[in-house]
Structure 1
Amino acid sequence: MEPNSKGAATFYQYKLIRKINITAPLVRTYMALPLVCLVLESIFLSWFSILYMIIAAPVMLWIQYVISRSVLLITGHPIAKRWRWSLRLPWPGYMPDQYINYGIFRTVQLHNLWIGLCIAALFIVWAPPAFTASLAVCHLWLLLPRLYTLVRLKRTARDGMLKFNAADASYYTQ
C-alpha cells in the first residue's frame, strides 16, 4: 500500500452483507439450458439451429462486450484492469475483475439485457427465425447468472460493492 502524505497507509474495510452461492446443481442446470433450447429449436423451427447456435454464441458475446464497454465509457467509469473476459462458468463474458460498485454493475447489465434483446429482435428482418431465436437464447443464457445475482440483491442498497468468485457473488458495504 502506498503511504499517504502523513505516513499512514490507507485501508479499505468491507463488511460482507450477502453471499450468493452458485452450487454445482445450479451450474449443471445452467449448462443444460442451451441444450434443451437447441433441441426445442430443432424440433419447432429448423434443423439448422445447431449451426445457428454455434454462430450466435460468439456474436452475442461480442455484442454484450460492445454494450458493456460503451455503457462504462459513457458513464465515465474506469475500465482499465477492472473488467476482463471470462470463459469460466458461471460467469461467461465481459465481467468485473475486482470489486465493482453494485449500481454500476446493475446499470451495465440492465443495458446489456434490453439493448441486446433489441439487437436480437432486429435480426428477425434479415435472418431466419431460427437464427434470431438462437441469438435471443444465447443472449439470455449468457446474462442469466448475472440477472440471478441482481434479482437476489434486489432489496439491497445500491451503494455496496460486488465481488465475483468462481462459485459465488459477494455483496459488501464499506
Structure 2
Amino acid sequence: MATPITDEERERFRELFDQGLARNDIARIMNRSGWTVTQMAKSAGVSFDRSITIAATAARSSDLAEKRSVLAEEMVEAAFQALIEVRKKPYLVGAFGGRDGTWHEQYLESAPVAEIRQALTSAGIAFDKASRIVERDTGELHQAVSFLGRLQEAISAVYEEEHQAVDDVVE
C-alpha cells in the first residue's frame, strides 16, 4: 500500500518544482516514485515540460547518426584501398622468416589468391555494414526532421497564443 502524501511533501515538491528540477530528480530527492511525483504535479495543477528533453534526445540521435555516417565512409574507403592494393602489379609480399627471424620481401606477378579473397571479403563486409548504417540512419533522420518540424510548429503555436493573450490584455 502506498504511503499517503503529506502536506510537508506537497510543499517540498512545489519548492523543488519551482527550482526547475525534473520529475525523476524530484522523485530521488523526495524518495518517492516517479508516478507519485507525477500525481503531486497533477494535484498542484502543474506539469513537467518534456520539450527540452525531447529536443536534446533528437539532437543526440542526429549527432550519433552523423558519427555512424562518417564511420561508414571510413569503412568503405578502407575496403576500397585494400582492393586497390591487391590489384597492384607487381605485388609486394613480405614476412619474417629464417632461423634469425629477419624480414624478407619479394615481388610477385600478382597478389596471392588468399590475399585477394581477404580483400574482397573485407570489402563485402564493409559495404554490407555501411549499407545498413545508411539505411537505418535515413529512416531515423527522416523521423528526427519530422519530429523537429512538429516541435517547431507546437512552439510557434504556443508563442502565438501567448502573444494573442498579451495583445488582448493590452487592448
Q: TM-score, normalised by structure 1?
A: 0.29
Q: Identify, as 1 or 2, the structure richer in helix.
A: 2
Q: TM-score, normalised by structure 2?
A: 0.30
Q: Identify, as 1 or 2, the structure richer in strand.
A: 1
